[in-house]
Amino acid sequence: MKDYKNKTAFVTGAASGIGYALCEALLNKGANVMMADVDAQGLEKALAKLGGTSNHLASTLCDVRDGAAVMDAATLTQKTFGKVHIVMNNAGVGLAGRSGEIDLTDWRWIVDINLMGVVHGVEAFTPLIKLHDEGGYIVNTASMAGHMTTEYMPPYHATKYAVVGYSESIAPELSKYNIGVSCLCPTWVKSNIANSGNSKPSTNNIDSDTFSALKHTAELVKNGMDASRLADLTLAMMAQGRMHIFNDSEARPLIDERAKMLGADYDAALAWLADNK
């Protein structure tokens, strides 16, 4: 994706952080943008900050957990701008906790947003992109947490690994229709993600170890990359058709370490099989 003029983009989690920055970057490239978020007040402020409703900008309330709501948002986007070319499934939340102490309602909450929200976006918008036969692009926001792990965040890692695998799976299929797919995998970016766990359904308190981990994460996010720079990087990597979009040189060794671990485990298993025929 290189030319954004007369192209329409739908962006979830658009009221703040990465989502807002993506909307701004797309508008600056000449695209039409439909901003979507579950936060009505935040969305209204974000829309106003970008100039308000116009021929190139609109907004809609949308809870990505609800497949029907995402489908309605897709219909509205097409009705508003005529065609849809770009979908950025960006809405996401964080959730931490100690295994064995995480409420299952919280598990379902994060899965419904971080994974099913992406699925709902792909399922709702892919037919609309195919319809005009002009090609398009899908960006699914995962995280570096979809390629490596830390303690006390199993729900977050599980959903982000799922988004990475899902994106890799649909990419070759959709390429046949000239629809590109990228998976956004940043580390620390200035956003509200560190506070999003406060919206979890349960009222369970977290233990001291988890609290310390969250406090450390919040500090890293506070000092992370500006969301606007990540948005510019995202569009640049879309132009190159990159599958994964990374932003942190310090995280590169984690990819290499994981590759070594997989290779060692693979070799160990094959060696056992060879010795125990």
pLDDT digits (tens, 9 = 90+) for 210-251: 767 667 677 777 778 899 999 999 999 999 999 999 999 999
What topology does CATH give the domain 8-246? Rossmann fold (3.40.50)
| 156 a catalytic residue | yes
Give bridge partners of residue 183 from the DSSP assignment. 140, 244
Give bridge partners of residue 245 from the DSSP assignment. 184
Domain positions in the chain: 8-246, 250-277
Tell me the CB-side half-sphere exposure of residue 266, using CA atoms within 13 A.
6
Q: Average pLDDT of the chain?
A: 93
Q: How far is CA 166 from CA 6, 97, 141, 162, in A?
A: 29, 25, 11, 6
pLDDT digits (tens, 9 = 90+) for 127-176: 999 999 999 999 999 999 999 998 889 999 999 999 999 999 999 999 99
What confidence score (pLDDT) does residue 43 get?
Answer: 97
Q: What single-letter amino acid sits at 276?
A: N
Number of neighbours of residue 237 by Cβ within 10 angstroms = 19
In the sheet that holds 8-12, the strands lie side by side as 57-61, 32-37, 8-12, 86-89, 136-141, 179-184, 244-245
pLDDT digits (tens, 9 = 90+) for 168-225: 999 999 999 999 999 999 998 988 776 777 788 888 777 677 767 667 677 777 778 8
Residue in 20, 156, 161, 166 annotated catalytic: 156
Of the candidates 5, 1, 22, 42, the residue with the CA atom closest to the CA atom of residue 189: 22
pLDDT digits (tens, 9 = 90+) for 8-54: 999 999 999 999 999 999 999 999 999 999 999 999 999 999 999 99
Q: Give the whole-angstrom CA distance, residue 25 versus residue 231.
A: 6
What confidence score (pLDDT) does residue 216 get?
Answer: 66
Of the candidates 57, 54, 55, the residue with the CA atom closest to the CA atom of residue 20: 57
> Token digits for 233?
């990087």
Q: Give the whole-angstrom CA distance, residue 189 versus residue 180.
A: 24
pLDDT digits (tens, 9 = 90+) for 81-119: 999 999 999 999 988 888 999 999 999 999 999 999 999
Predicted TM-score (pTM) of the model is 0.92
> Token digits for 274?
């060879």
Chain centroid, CA 16 distance in Å: 13
| SS3 category, 95 | coil
Among all chains, which residue has been given the structure tokens 């935040």? 42
What confidence score (pLDDT) does residue 211 get?
Answer: 66
The answer to whether the Cα torsion of 206, 186, 244, 249 is positive or negative is: negative
